[in-house]
Amino acid sequence: MSEQSRRSMPAPGGAPAAWTFFRQWLRNPRAMAALSPSGRQLTRMMIDQLPAGARRIVELGAGTGVFTRALLARGIAQKDLLVVELNAELHALLHREFPEASIVHGDARDLVEIASRVGFAQQGGADAAISGLGFLAMPREIQKGILEAIFAVLGPGRPLIQFTYGPASPIPGDLARELGLVVQRAGIAPLNLPPAFVFVYTR
């Protein structure tokens, strides 16, 4: 849920996207998990974790749409994107900017119902999930609910791609084991502000 590379890009409606993001952070810093949108290096690293041939993508906590734009630049069609954003103002921004994508104002724990409602639960599941959610700020039961929903929507063996601001996995080891997740640290984006680590989870 972050991207610094587009700081100067105006959001729909005239307000700079980064200012919209920062204003939401001021209102609820625990929910936002980051001060500013993610940087170019982190964005590239996240997108590079997509499986070969990935087409149908779920994005959670899209913020101002930095990863969303990168997915489109990678060749993912808007109609093949399901974007879930809990913050109402950021959801409205995303809905204006990506009118052909499924942009849903909702909770990631409800992903199975959301995917079914928008017709995204067919054809063998999604090819990947990209997340900017702040797992470290969540109670364990909320973490578990979100992860169960994500892996119910993903196709077999398909990845959840997640970033965090520390070298340790933001998903506790005991929870990963309980859910049967394989965890891989894909790398670090040292030029991001703050530096970020990318993790890939599969089941």
Residue ranges of domains in the chain: 38-202
What architecture does CATH give domain 38-202? 3-Layer(aba) Sandwich (3.40)
Residue type, 52: A
> CB burial class (10 A; 0-12, 13-18, 19+) of residue 110?
middle
pLDDT (tens digit, 9 = 90+) per residue, 79-94? 999 999 999 999 999 9
Q: What letters, b where the CB count within 10 A reaches 16 and e where it falls short, cover 69-101?
A: bbbeeeebeeebbbbbbbbeebbbbbbebbeeb
Please report, rounded to a whole number, the percentage of residues in the chain having pLDDT higher than 70: 81
184 vs 29, higher pLDDT = 184
Q: Quick check: 36 and 109 in contact, CB under 8 A?
A: no
pLDDT (tens digit, 9 = 90+) per residue, 56-84? 999 999 999 999 999 999 999 999 999 99
Mean pLDDT over the full length of the chain: 86
Give residue 120's pLDDT band: very low, low, confident or very high (50, 70, 90).
confident
Give residue 37's pLDDT band: very low, low, confident or very high (50, 70, 90).
low
The alpha-helical segments, DSSP class H, found in the chain are 17-27, 29-32, 40-48, 66-73, 88-97, 111-117, 140-153, 173-178
Cα-to-chain-centroid distance, residue 195 = 17
By three-state DSSP, how is residue 96 classified? helix
Q: Computed from CA positions of residues 192, 45, 9, 24, in that sequence, does the dihedral angle turn out positive or negative?
A: negative
- The per-residue pLDDT for 13 is 40
Q: pTM of the full predicted structure?
A: 0.83
